[in-house]
Amino acid sequence: MQANQLEKIRKGKGFIAALDQSGGSTPKALAGYGVSEDAYSNEEEMFDLVHEMRTRIITSPAFDSTHILGAILFEQTMDREIEGQYTADYLAEKKGIVPFLKVDKGLADASNGVQLMKPIHDLDETLRRANERHIFGTKMRSVIKEANPEGIKTVVDQQFEIGKQIIEAGLVPIIEPEVDIHSNDKEKSEQILKDEILGHLNNLDDKDNVMLKLSIPTVANTYKELIDHPRVVRVVALSGGYSRDEANEKLKENDGLIASFSRALSADLNVNQTDEEFNAALRDAVESIYDASVNKK
C-alpha cells in the first residue's frame, strides 16, 4: 500500500487537502463553518462538532481522488471513525486518498525572527500509533517572520532533525517552515530558507524521502530547485492567509508546485447549507484548487 501511495503522491495530479486545525485553531475553524462558541460547552463537544464538519467534507462526493491526492489530519481525527472505519482507512480504502497526520504541538514564542515548534515529547508514541492507523506521512509547522539567517537556520535544523526521526519510523515527513506572507522581507527570507533546505537535502541518505510545505514564493519558481531534488517527493504550498482566488493565481505561476490549502479549501462551507449546497460549494473549491495545481501559466 505505501509504495503505491508514494507513487501517487510523487507523480499524481491533484493537491493535498489540509484538514488539520487543532487545539486553539479549532474554534476559529468552527466559526468559519458557522458554528459559534455557544454551540459547545467543553472541549469534547467542540471536537465532536469539528469531526462532524470533517466527516461531511471527507464523505462528500466532491472530495474525490480525481482531484485530491492526500489529506492531512489532526490526531483526534485519526483516532475517530467515519462510517465504521478509522479515518485514514476510510480515506485510503473508500476514497483512494493518502492520509497524513499533523504531529507538531504548536509554536513556541518568537525569537530571532522565527517561531520554532514546541517540543514534541510524545513523538515516538504518536508515530507508533500513526503506523497502527495506516498513516502515510506527517506534517509539522514552524513560522519565519523575518529574514534572520540564524533564526531561519534554527527552524530548518529543527525540522530536519525531527524529520529524520519520522523517516526512521517508516513515514514520510512534510517539513513546513512557513514564511509569513505579511513579512516585510519575505523574498529575502525565502532565499535564505531555500539555501538552508538545500543543504539538508544534500546530506540525506539515498533512501530518505521528505516532502516540503512552503508559502507561495514572492518570486515565481524560487523553489524549483527543491521541487526537482531527488530526495523530495513533492513540494506543496500553503495558502497562508491569501484568499482562494489570490492563492490560486500565485500558485499557477510556480511550475511543479501544488496546493495544500486549509482555509482556502473550506472558506465557502457552512453548517446550515443543504447537502446539495455544501457539495456544490466544496466542488467549486476543489476544482479551482486542482486547476491551479496542475495547469500552470
Q: Which positions are annotated as active-site residues?
A: 176, 213
Residues 187, 192: Cα–Cα separation, whole Å: 9
Backbone dihedral angles phi then psi of residue 80, each to the nearest 5 degrees: -100, 170
- Is residue 19 within 8 A of residue 52, CB to CB? The reply is no
The amino acid sitting at 292 is: A
- Length, in residues, of the chain: 297
Per-residue b/e over 234-246, b at no fewer than 16 CB within 10 Å?
bbbbbbbebebee
Residues 83, 226: Cα–Cα separation, whole Å: 39
- Is residue 192 within 8 A of residue 156, CB to CB? The reply is no
Backbone dihedral angles phi then psi of residue 61, each to the nearest 5 degrees: -60, -20
Q: Within 13 Å, how many C-alpha atoms sit on residue 295's CB side?
A: 9
Distance of CA 15 to the CA centre of its chain: 10
- Is residue 202 within 8 A of residue 228, CB to CB? The reply is no
Residues 224, 287: Cα–Cα separation, whole Å: 24
Residues 282, 17: Cα–Cα separation, whole Å: 12
Interior angle at CA 19, CA 13 and CA 20, nearest 5: 125
